[in-house]
Amino acid sequence: MAPANLRVGLLQRHKTTPYSNKPITEPPKKLSLLSLSPELRNCIYSHAAHEPLFFTYPQNGKATHKRQFEKDPLNPRKKLTTIPFLGLTQTCILLRTEFRPLWLATHRVAFSCIPGYMRAFYPDDITSVMPSHILTRLESFHDTRCILQLWFRIDDLNDGSIMPLLKFRVRYPETKIMINNGDAGDLDPQNHIGYLTWFLNTSGEELDSWIRRKGIMDVRLDQQRHPNKLFIKLVVSRKQAGSLTPSIRCTSTQTMVYHIRTT
The pTM for the full model equals 0.64
Inter-residue contact 230 to 199 (CB < 8 Å):
no
CA distances from 4 to 9, 11, 97 (A): 9, 11, 57
User: What pLDDT is recorded for position 50?
Assistant: 73
Strand 252-253 with 256-262, pairing:
antiparallel
**pLDDT (0 to 100) of residue 208:** 81
Instruction: Quickly list H helices, 202-237.
Output: 205-212
DSSP code of 30?
Answer: P
Tell me 230's DSSP state.
Answer: E
> What does the pLDDT read at residue 97?
81
Gap between the Cα atoms of 170 and 33, Å rounded: 37
User: Is 222:248 a contact under the CB 8 Å cutoff?
Assistant: no
pLDDT of residue 262: 39
What is the 3-state secondary structure of 102-121?
HHHHCCCEEHHHHHHHHHHH
Contacts of 65 (CB under 8 A, 6+ apart): none
What order do you get walking across the sheet with 147-152 strand by strand?
Answer: 109-110, 147-152, 176-181
Ranges of the chain whose pLDDT falls below 70: 1-24, 28, 31, 51-83, 125-130, 138-145, 181-191, 203, 224-228, 238-263
Question: Is residue 221 within 8 Å of residue 201, measured between CB atoms?
Answer: no
* Residue 225 pLDDT: 61
